[in-house]
Every structure is written in C-alpha cells, then in structure tokens.
Chains A and B, each alone.
Chain A
Amino acid sequence: MFASWLRFGLTSGRVTTSYPKNREVLLREHSSWHTVPRLDATAARKPTPTLQDVKAWAMRCPTSALFVWSDESGWGISLDEGACIGCNRCVVPNVQRVTEWGADVDLFALDRLALVDSVRLQGGDFRDGQQK
C-alpha cells in the first residue's frame, strides 16, 4: 500500500510495532471498533427494498451522510463517509440491511469524492453505481 520507505520508517527504520506492516492482523484484532458503516453492495441481491422504505430509513441519519439519489434508469443510495459520525442508527437491525459496520479502522482518502460510496438499488446492474 505504501512505499517501502514509509512502511519501514524514514530513517534507518526498524519497525518496532506491527503496524502498518501487518494490516490484516490489526483489522482482525480491532474488528469490534466501529468508525463508519459501509454500504453492503450485495444488499441489492436480497429482496429489493422500496424507494419509500429506503428514503424513510436514510432520514434517520443525523448529518445527512446517507442519502438517496435517482437518475433516468433507477435509484440508489449513497453514504458520505466524510459526514458520517458513526452513530449506530442506520446499522441497528433493519429490514433493508443496506449498511453494516465497516471493519476499516484506518480509513482515509486523498480525494473528497472518494469518501462517497454509492450503491445502485434499482435500474442498471446491481453493482456499485457511478459516483453521485
């Protein structure tokens, strides 16, 4: 993920702790930490929730990080990780089950738009929709 010189330190660089070298181990160890949820792209394969349901459900987000969009071929839902405060409202068991806690405890982005995740729930093929 990083250049080796960063991974091993800028100077002589003996790595004394396990991060960032063993990222997998770290993610496993801290799997119960919650930072932001992620959209479950496979949710679309389950019985598709109705637009009304999902809209009402996105309304629960206190910072409008979760929002519903539509275009000519259908609609979908987006999660702005840059606005998500990690309250557990959209993750509590719900019929739609489109979000779940993400396991990433080391999330970052170099581009503001890269923090916006989208899932198309109707129209087109059931995969990640385009950036909205």
Chain B
Amino acid sequence: MKVLTAQGSNLKHVERQHHRIGDLVHAVVHFASEESAQLLYFGWIPKTGGWSRLLAVIGRPKHALIEWHHAAPTFGQTAYPSLSARWPAALWLEREMWELTKVLPVGHPDLRAILHPENQEERIVVHGDEVFQLPLGPVRSDVVESMFMRFDTQGEQIVHMQPELFYKHRDIERLAVGLLYPDGRFLAERVAGTSTIAHATAYARAIEHALGHVVHPKVEQERIVFGELERLYNHAHDMAQMASAAGMTVAQAQLSRVKEECLRVNGDLCGSRYLRNAVLPYKGSDVEWAQVVSTVIRRLRDINGRFTQCLDLLRRTPTFVDRFVGAGIVKQEWARAYGTVGPVARACGQPVDVREDYLRDRYEQQAYRVVVDEAGTGDGWARFVVRAGEWEISQRVLTKGLQLLANGDFMEAGSLAGTQDDSKNDGFSLERTGIGLSESPRGRVCHVVQLDPDGRLAFWGIRAASAWNWPVLGLAVANGNIQQDFPPIEASFGLSCAGVDR
C-alpha cells in the first residue's frame, strides 16, 4: 500500500546543512530562477543547545521535494548577504528578522521598522510636481482590520502606495513557546479567524510531521472537507466585498446572504460558525457524518444555486465588469519574484496551490483540479474569475468528500492511530521539527514547529497566505491606476491583516 506522508505521498524531505549563512543564501538564490520552486519559510530558528540558526525551507513540487537549508552564524556574526536583494519574496521577512535579531541583511533595499509602525520615522516620499500624499488608516471607513496605507498621488493617478501593517502584532509565535502542543491549537485557530481551519490544519500537520506520525486517512479527509467549507464562505465574502466596492448593492446583499448561509451550515455542523475546535493534532472531530451529510449537501446545493445565479448576473453587468478589467494588474514576473500565492497568483497564470503541489493524491479522489487563469492577465477581473471557478470546484470536492466521509471505508487503511511518517531521511539533524502546509482561501499557509522532548513548543513559525501577497498590492495599485480604482483592487486581492501581523 502506498504510504501517505504528512504532506502527501512520495514527498521527500531533504536536509542541506551549510557551513556559512552566505553559502545558504547563495544556494537558496539559485531557486529564485527555478520554475515552480517556492520559498515556504525563511527565518531564524533556535537550535537544541541554544544556538540560533537560519532556516530556509524550499518547496520543489515538480521534484516532490521539500528542501531544508540551514546554517548557523559564526560567533558574533552581525551581518549576512541579503536574500531579498536577489529574491524579493523575502523582503518583508528580512525586515522583520532585522528588527528582531539585529543581524544585518547586507544589500536589503528597505530596512524600515516593520513590527512597530508607530516608531517608524523614515518614510518613502515621492518627489515631483503636484505630488500629494494621502494617508489612510489605521481607523478606516467600513468594518475593516486596522492597517495603514500611504498613497502618493499625482492628480488622480496613484504614483506610489505603501501598506504598513503590524498594528495588530500579537506576538503569537513567541507567546506559544513553552505551551504543550495540544494547547497551541487555540492560538493556531486564532492567527486569522477567517482562516481558522487552514491554520489549524497546517499546525496539526506540522506537529504530526515533527513527531513523525501520519494520522488516519479519515482525519485528513475531515480536514479537506472543513477546508473547503471555509473556502466557500470566504470566497462568498470576497465576492460580496468586490460587489460592494463596485457599488453593486443588490449583489453585495445577495452574496453576503450566501456567506451567512455558509456560516450557518458550519454552525449547525460543528457548533462554531468559524469551524473552531474541528481540526486538532492527531484527532478527528466529533461530527457524526453519516447523519448530517445528506442535509449538508442539500443545503450547499441550495446555496450554490443562489450564488451562481447572482454571479451570472454580475458577469453580464458592464458597470461591474468595467471596474475590474485592467484594474490592479499583477505582472507575471512580480508574481514569481514576490512568491504570491492563492487566487492572486493563479490569476497570473501560476498554478501555485498546496492542494495541487503537495497534496495531490489526497485531492485526486475528490475530483479536484487547480483553477488557473490561462491568459494570466492578473487583473481584478481574473481574480474574480478564478474565485468563481474555485467555488465551483469546492462544491464538487465537498460533495465528493462528504459522501466519502459518510460511507467511506477508511478502516482498510490501518488503525486509527495512523502510521509512521518516513518522509524525512535518516540524517535529519533538526530534531522534532516539522512543517505543515495547507491551502487557505487566500493561499498557502505554512507552519514550522519545533518541539521539546516533553511535547512543548520550542519554536513556531507562521507564514500566512496574505504575507506573500501584501507586498504586491502596493505595486498593483500604483501602476496606472487612479484613486477610485483602489477599493475594487483591494477587494479583489481579498487580503487579511491578522495572519500577517500574527
């Protein structure tokens, strides 16, 4: 029988230990030009014995590899060659690392304070005739998260836009150190509330990977189903926000109604509208699937009918379409360089999707396929189309997945205790360290954990989906768009702050 590992079958974890950080950066930069290589994690981690080291985790889905590159600093090392100088995906990460450790990334173009925006003194200022600066936030109109944006405009034209986040930095990663791993999931669920399942799943998979176990296929199947339920309400929400940004009040009301109905399905299914307490390390939920599946499928079908009808009308509404076509274009090379994820990347024609890249054999039996905008225009409209396609696929995966849960015979696959994960090779020197990946509605979520011998968290690194997409928003907004384009662009990105701020 094919043994599934924590992240899917045949996926191997390879460790590369470098003598110097410079060597590590050199090796990692090599992947910046490799098609489909992904920077999953980059940051300092503590090593058993107290020494901290730099860890870069590279995913190479084409080769079914996850490469762990790490290197310890030499004694008293205070600088290393910057990775973001060559691979912009690490820009914000290195700003954060610089602020935390004060080890200088040499060659980094922008080392402003990121974790404490209130202390920030240097600002990027655009000089020129008739340039006008427009600060927006952190308390903005409507019900949104707290963030700050600085626009430099020339007339109506946006010349430069700089988002400042971390107003809500809650220090989750360090708060969790010393917690027993079952307690860590309370924090994982609250990294980003609307991606509860994605973060809880990534956390659970990371823990299981660290401890070298694979859970029972039924538990993983539940995670898939919950994940798709989460995607449904998030996509409905994003669509509603897009309708609202374009002034489509009726569509917004209809789509927010769809979202509410999805939330109610969640609430009736497992008690929590945001699917809290459903995904735990090593454990399945206590939902009695056989009893509820037919009701859930019927309700989802009703919701789907309403949603597709509304979407069809939107597609045929020129005043709606016009606001998004050509607005906020993300060029393919930006998407590649900044490592964008989720619908934003897929709208640029890049099939970046954890489900496709690392969990293909789990999703294969659910009639899943990755939705990519073939033209790769990367504008707001492409993001709308990708989300619409994903909704359809999610419905299909859910119907199939729920039926599997209700009458699937999972027992053949082994005992409920799960099996041994042998994806790490023997010489893996990072002990009790694991990575967990999941696809949230906004894109890839990656958790890296390291556990003490007694099951307490020694290190926890969180890379939320939006963290990869935020730096691109500034570029997408600034190039050729006017002030009035900003709300549709922002809505079409559908970013969250909570996951980035942590």
A residues with a Cβ closer than 8 A to B are: 30, 32-34, 62, 85-88, 101
Contact indicator B271/A88 (Cβ below 8 Å): yes
Contact indicator A85/B268 (Cβ below 8 Å): no
Given the contacts A87-B276, A88-B277, A101 and B271 also touching, CB distance less than 8 Å: yes
Residues of B contacting A: mostly: loop
Q: Restricting to B387-417, which residues have a CB under 8 Å from any CB of A? A: none
Bound: A62/B276 CA distance, A = 14
Contact indicator B276/A86 (Cβ below 8 Å): yes
Contact indicator B183/A33 (Cβ below 8 Å): no
B213 lies within 8 A of chain A by Cβ: no
Min CB–CB distance B47 → chain A (angstroms): 29
Partner of A87, one of B268, B273, B277: B277
B294 lies within 8 A of chain A by Cβ: no
Q: Which residues of B contact A62 (CB under 8 A)?
A: 183, 186
Given the contacts A87-B277, A88-B277, A34 and B186 also touching, CB distance less than 8 Å: no
User: What are 24 A-B interface contacts by the 8 Å CB criterion?
Assistant: A30-B267, A30-B268, A32-B267, A32-B268, A32-B271, A33-B267, A33-B268, A33-B271, A33-B272, A33-B273, A34-B271, A34-B272, A62-B183, A62-B186, A85-B186, A86-B272, A86-B276, A86-B277, A87-B186, A87-B276, A87-B277, A88-B271, A88-B277, A101-B271
9 additional A-B residue pairs with CB within 8 Å, beyond A32-B268, A33-B273, A101-B271: A32-B271, A33-B267, A33-B268, A33-B272, A34-B271, A62-B183, A62-B186, A86-B272, A88-B271
Q: Restricting to B256-274, which residues have a CB under 8 Å from any CB of A? A: 267-268, 271-273
Least CB separation from A62: chain B residue: B186
Min CB–CB distance B187 → chain A (angstroms): 9
Residues of A contacting B: mostly: loop
Least CB separation from A33: chain B residue: B267
Least CB separation from A89: chain B residue: B277
Bound: A33/B183 CA distance, A = 23
Min CB–CB distance A19 → chain B (angstroms): 13
- Mark B292-311 against chain A: 1 for CB-CB distance below 8 A, else 0: 00000000000000000000
Bound: A15/B28 CA distance, A = 62
Q: Taking each of B186, B268, B271, B273, which has the highest tally of chain A beta carbons within 10 Å of its own beta carbon?
A: B271
Bound: A87/B271 CA distance, A = 10
Min CB–CB distance B7 → chain A (angstroms): 27
Bound: A101/B267 CA distance, A = 14
Bound: A86/B189 CA distance, A = 12
Q: Which residues of A contact B277 (CB under 8 A)?
A: 86-88
Bound: A62/B190 CA distance, A = 13
Min CB–CB distance A86 → chain B (angstroms): 7
Min CB–CB distance B282 → chain A (angstroms): 15
Bound: A59/B336 CA distance, A = 48
Q: Which residues of B contact A32 (CB under 8 A)?
A: 267-268, 271
Bound: A88/B272 CA distance, A = 10
- Mark B167-188 against chain A: 1 for CB-CB distance below 8 A, else 0: 0000000000000000100100
Q: Which residues of B contact A101 (CB under 8 A)?
A: 271
Bound: A85/B276 CA distance, A = 10
Least CB separation from A30: chain B residue: B267
Q: Which residues of A contact B186 (CB under 8 A)?
A: 62, 85, 87
Bound: A22/B273 CA distance, A = 21
Q: Which residues of A contact B272 (CB under 8 A)?
A: 33-34, 86
Q: Which residues of A contact B271 (CB under 8 A)?
A: 32-34, 88, 101
Bound: A101/B277 CA distance, A = 14
Min CB–CB distance A60 → chain B (angstroms): 10
Min CB–CB distance B375 → chain A (angstroms): 43
Q: Which residues of A contact B268 (CB under 8 A)?
A: 30, 32-33
Min CB–CB distance B21 → chain A (angstroms): 38
Q: Which residues of B contact A30 (CB under 8 A)?
A: 267-268
Bound: A33/B267 CA distance, A = 5
Min CB–CB distance B274 → chain A (angstroms): 10
Bound: A85/B277 CA distance, A = 10
Least CB separation from A85: chain B residue: B186
